Amino acid sequence: MLVILGFAMIIVFMTLIMTKRLSPILALIIVPTVFGLFTGAGLGIGEMVMDAIADMSSTAALLLFAIIYFGIMIDVGLFDKLVGFILKVAGHDPVKVVMGTALLTGAVSLDGDGSTTFIVVTAAMLPIYQRLEMSPVVLTCVAGLINGTLNIVPWGGPTARASSALQIDANDIFAPMVPALAAGLLVCFVFAYFLGISERRRLAKNGVAWVDESRSGTSGSKRSDLVGAVARSSSGSNSSSGSGSGAANGGTTSATLADGDSDSLDAGSGNNSGSGSALTDTALDPNRATLRPKLFWFNLILTVAVMVMLIADLLPLPYLFMIAMVIALMVNFPNIKAQQEELASHASAIIAVVAMVMAAGVLTGIMSGTGMVDAMAEWLVAVIPSSMGPYMAVITGLLSIPMTFFMSNDAFYFGILPVLAETASHFGISAADMARASITGQPVHMQSPLVPAILLLVSLSGVELGDHHKKVLWRALIVSLVMLTVGVLIGVIAIG
């Protein structure tokens, strides 16, 4: 019964958020509560949920203060020069912008921390997507794919967990998987390229002209910064069927995000004209009152210091961002009223992401507390016939795709992988092979609503989780299967 209820709960939850019958926050609370009551948990549900929320409190604190800190840095203009540099390199070509997103995500992802990666990537790239009227769902899709694929680095979560659970060296798991990782990243970049092509075509279809400055000889300084916003605003076509607030930038995005193919940016008032007016009400508004050009070097040094301390792990991350936020706020906004206004301007972003993390605690708490996770794992292990024993490594890789999406990495690597590895040992398959297979599902895992970092990414980008899933899940599935297949072909994931 627990197995049936567990899978039914997952199906109902995913259906509700992908069809937009419920928002993710409501679905994360209501669906597990209803199914938890069916398990007979009764009033014990409250304790299960509170235990899970307590475990997530440090993550919520990290996201809360990190959002405020990077929000301040965006407001004061720290990233304006970076955005300008990226635009100079990429021009106004959506393909180059999307490929730049992939490269930036890959570089920052090497620190092994998804939250930091998504904060930096959205801070740098989202204003560019807004400026060019590109779909933010493309940003979340590319960032999620690249970060999920690189999540298997030895200092990342899954490889370290597999190493601990099976008591083998993390490098013995990762090093042989480098070719598979390279293949997965190659597929990610191919997806990024075609997403850029799709964006270029969509913008052209909507009347947004793209100019190849390298061929046309048009200078970026002479070219209108409005891109297609002038045509839209002059025709008065600023209507759309939905709206979302870009959490990281304080801008106003007016979009229909169904599958991310019909996004449009409200670039400001209907009278946009002149250089830079398309940026009004966005993070790149050159006339925003919060700009602090005289404090650029201070803010840059502070941010670099925060990144160094983050990588060096000198302080707990929530406390690190608390201190950084206080310093940034006091220096850039010495007036108390200005400090209050700056904090208030990021309230919607804070509420959205922290509420999502707390709501995710309801799902994880009830799944673990009622025993659904354990029952589902035992059932999956039991239904594998003994004749499939020689293929246990491949089966483990396939199981890691859905199971790490619907449960935490801790539950999978410490609860399920040891059982699968013990079974595989009877068929001559080593623990290292099992561990390598188990990490191939990470591109899909990273898109799970149970992963706080992905909730941060969609919140900062102003994207619905269901829209992100529609765009990213099938691509992440292909990346995982490619990594698993290459691992088998090169012999690092054995078939007994």
What pLDDT score does 152 carry? 86
Q: Identify each DSSP E strand in 126-283 by its residue range.
A: 243-245, 252-256, 262-263
Tell me the average pLDDT across 402-418. 77
Instruction: Report pLDDT digits (tens) over 462-476.
Output: 888 889 999 999 999
- Residue scoring higher pLDDT (24 or 432): 432
pLDDT averaged over every residue in the chain:
77
Average pLDDT (182-199) is: 95
**H-helix or E-strand containing 300?**
helix 296-312
DSSP 414: I
Which residue shows structure tokens 């209907």?
270
CA-derived radius of gyration, the chain: 23
- Please give the DSSP secondary-structure letter assigned to residue 415: I
Q: How far apart are CA 48 and CA 291, in angstroms?
A: 46
Q: Percent of the chain at pLDDT above 70?
A: 79
CA atoms within 13 A on the CB side of 242: 14
Phi and psi at 407, nearest 5°, equal -145, 170
Q: Would you give the DSSP letter of residue 280?
A: T
pLDDT over 70 (residue 218): no
pLDDT band at 111 (very low <50, low <70, confident <90, very high): low
Type of residue numbered 322:
M
pLDDT digits (tens, 9 = 90+) for 276-335: 333 444 445 667 788 888 999 999 999 889 878 876 778 887 888 899 999 999 999 999
Quote the pLDDT of residue 345: 82
Percent of the chain with pLDDT over 90: 23
**Phi, psi (5° rounding) for residue 254?**
-115, 115
- pLDDT greater than 50 at residue 81: yes
CB half-sphere exposure, 363, CA atoms < 13 A: 29
CA 439 to chain centre: 18
Over 90: is that where the pLDDT of 440 sits?
Answer: yes
